[in-house]
Amino acid sequence: MIVFPNCKINLGLHISGKREDGFHNLETVFYPVPFKDALELIPSTNTEIEFTGTGLAVDGDAADNLCVKAYHLLKKDFPEIPAVKIHLHKAIPLGAGLGGGSADAAFMLKLLNEKFHLNLSTDQLINYALQLGSDCPFFIINNPCFATGRGEVLEQTALNLSAYKIVLINPGIHINTGWAFSNITPAPPVKSIKEIILQPINTWKAELKNDFETAVFTAHPAIKEIKETLYAQGAIYAAMSGSGSTVFGIFEPNTGSVSLKDSNYFIKIIN
């Protein structure tokens, strides 16, 4: 079986407080974007799980890959799951604020559930997904959601951006998530993101903010420049996704192509 895990963007990201468990409370809107990896799973006659990958290089040992961890997480509770071969073709940039690794993990859970008839409910899959990462539960639902808590408290929203063009730009700068959180001063929101995203998109520029941008833009002016370039070239709304470093712009569908000074940046256009 083959599935195609997609990425997400954050429409607004506000950090409201530090939790006793060491995580942070936040609010954001997760919006799925049809830019995808490919994930294949087949049963194996071997006794051990096999993992292979193509596409973008994934650092670290295969045992630490979230797809492999998802397999072992379910295998612990469902020992009847056989050994499998997993192949991941990676197209979504890593550590880019797009949730690519989280998507792979969540899709792996769903794939195992379907392939081996585990009959897990959506809520059960979400509980497993949260053990793999704060963004993972969203990809179980994979529809636009207003998220609170660590990101696992999800409320679906009717937001639909399919009439617009979305441009993703990643400069290849790695932002350490722990560093990003350490530069945030949590505070209650002045106005909830849930309320802001119901407004016309042309009002988002003034009110829909990503709290990570201040510190990240100071440390990496090139990322700030991407956002400014997107607005200069006609974006209705532009922002950094997650803790970075990808910046996205939302454009009217008939807008011309986007050009940047640095041709080495990764650019993906979603029409």
Give the domain ranges of the chain. Answer: 2-156, 165-270
CATH class of 2-156: alpha beta
Contact 98, 242 (CB under 8 A): yes
The span from the CA of 204 to the CA of 193, in Å, is 10
Of residues 127 and 62, more confidence is placed in 127
Residue of 8, 165, 209, 227 marked catalytic:
8
As a CATH number, domain 165-270 is: 3.30.70.890
Contact 126, 120 (CB under 8 A): no
- Quick one: tokens of 26? 């936040």
CA 251 to chain centre: 20
Same fold, 2-156 and 165-270: no
For the cut 80, the answer to whether the pLDDT of residue 257 exceeds it is no
What is d(CA 90, CA 44) in angstroms, rounded to the nearest whole number?
22
- Report how far residue 80's alpha carbon sits from residue 74's, in angstroms, rounded to the nearest whole number: 10
Q: Is 8 a catalytic residue?
A: yes
- Say whether pLDDT at 45 is over 90: no
Q: Active site includes 224?
A: no
Write the pLDDT tens digit of every residue in 122-165.
999 999 999 999 999 999 999 999 999 999 999 999 999 999 99
Residues 168-226 pLDDT 10s = 999 999 898 889 999 999 998 889 999 999 999 999 999 999 999 999 999 999 999 99
Active-site choice (90, 135, 209, 227) = 135
